[in-house]
Structure formats: C-alpha cells, structure tokens
C-alpha cells in the first residue's frame, strides 16, 4: 500500500503522523514545491520508507491506495486533474474544496471515484455521542459559539454534520454581520460574524 501526500504542510504532517501508526503501508511519497518540512519528517522517521518527490509526472506508473491533497484551495481544480491522471484508489481533499466558483462547477461535472472531502465530525467521538443522546427531531435550533476559529473554512464541519443527521442538505445558507479580516495565512482572508443554515424545521447558527 502506497500513499502520496500532494502538498506537505502542517495539515499533511498531522495526517502522516496518524497514518504512520498503521501497519501495511509500504511507502510514503511527499510532494511539495518546498520540501523543507518533508525532509525533517524523513529524518525523524528513519524506520519508514519515505520518498521526496520534485516532479509529480514521475509517479504516473505508481499505484497509490490513497492520495491526500492538503494544498491551498486557490488551485485545487488544476491539482485534482493531475491527481486524477495518477488513477489512485482513494483521494482525500482538505476543505475548503476550491475558492473559484467556476472551478467548482467544473468539478461537479467531473467523475471522481472514491473522492472524499475531510469533514470528520460525523466520525468523532463527541459528535457520535451527540447523535446518540439527542433526538434532533425535537430540536429547532442549534447554536455554536466560537472565538478565533476560522469561520470561513470550519463552519462547513457543522453544516456537514447536520446534513448527515437529517440526511438532507440545508435548503438555505446565509450570512449575517460578516466582517472580513486578514488571515494568518499570507494572502488570505477570514471572517467573523454569523453563518446560518436552514433545514426543515431546524436552524443552525454558527
């Protein structure tokens, strides 16, 4: 079993640290335009077979069980087209999926097999407990309060969780009192304010 990390920043490192505890993985491949962090990880995990990749086209004949893409979302569609050519068995993509609406429309037309966006709340212990203990059919509103939480990228976790609970997507998503500010990631912005999602007989406020 071979795994490719397409983009190797802090999020990819967390994925790698989890996967490194699993038996049966033959090789790890790290691809990034800057392999500084990848070199440090390779030095730290000397017992694992790790390859640093500078040219993604050199992997066309490699059979990957999983490719994890954790690059920024401003070029995701183009990257997924390259990943698709590698014909992996599974693809895990970090959210936000794509920043460009026109590219999202193109993605919708594509056929991605075993393609997953990383929304883990439905699989985590605390949210499994919420699902078990609360009859959400009797709840009309669920309110989430956060501070310094990356609203733009993380609100989707709650929207996905309740889509899973109700087995339907919200029929309306809208914003209130949004204020834009600079993200800690250079060149990006984030927001503070409220995001609301309306389901049938239920409202989510974040």
Q: Is the pLDDT of residue 186 over 80?
A: no
Q: Is the pLDDT of residue 180 over 80?
A: yes
The tens digit of pLDDT for each residue in 47-61 reads 999 999 999 989 988
Say if CB 200 and CB 166 are below 8 A apart. Answer: yes
The predicted model gives 143-153 an average pLDDT of 82
pLDDT at 55: 92
Residues, the chain, total? 206
Query: Long-range contacts of range 148-155, CB-CB < 8 Å, 24 or more positions apart?
Result: 150/183, 150/190, 151/190, 151/191, 151/192, 151/193, 151/195, 151/206, 152/96, 152/189, 152/190, 152/191, 153/95, 153/96, 153/190, 155/195, 155/206
For the record, the structure tokens of 104 come out as 């999202």
pLDDT at 61: 85
- Over the range 67-79, which residues count as b (16 or more CB within 10 Å of their CB) and which as e? bbbbbebeebbeb
């Amino acid at each position: 079993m071979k795994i490719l990390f397409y983009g190797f920043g802090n999020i990819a490192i967390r994925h790698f640290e989890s996967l490194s505890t699993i038996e049966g993985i033959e090789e790890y491949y790290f691809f990034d335009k800057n392999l500084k962090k990848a070199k440090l990880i390779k030095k730290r995990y000397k017992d694992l077979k790790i390859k640093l990749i500078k040219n993604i086209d050199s992997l066309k004949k490699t059979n990957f069980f999983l490719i994890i893409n954790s690059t920024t979302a401003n070029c995701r569609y183009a990257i997924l087209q390259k990943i698709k050519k590698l014909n992996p068995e599974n693809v895990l993509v970090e959210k936000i999926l794509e920043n460009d609406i026109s590219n999202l429309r193109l993605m919708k037309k594509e056929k991605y097999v075993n393609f997953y966006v990383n929304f883990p709340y439905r699989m985590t212990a605390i949210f499994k407990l919420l699902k078990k203990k609360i009859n959400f059919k009797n709840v009309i509103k669920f309110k989430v309060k956060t501070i310094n939480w990356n609203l733009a990228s993380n609100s989707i976790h709650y929207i996905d969780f309740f889509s899973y609970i109700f087995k339907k997507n919200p029929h309306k998503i809208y914003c209130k009192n949004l204020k834009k500010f600079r993200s800690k990631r250079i060149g990006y912005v984030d927001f503070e304010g409220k995001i609301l999602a309306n389901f049938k007989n239920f409202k989510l406020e974040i």
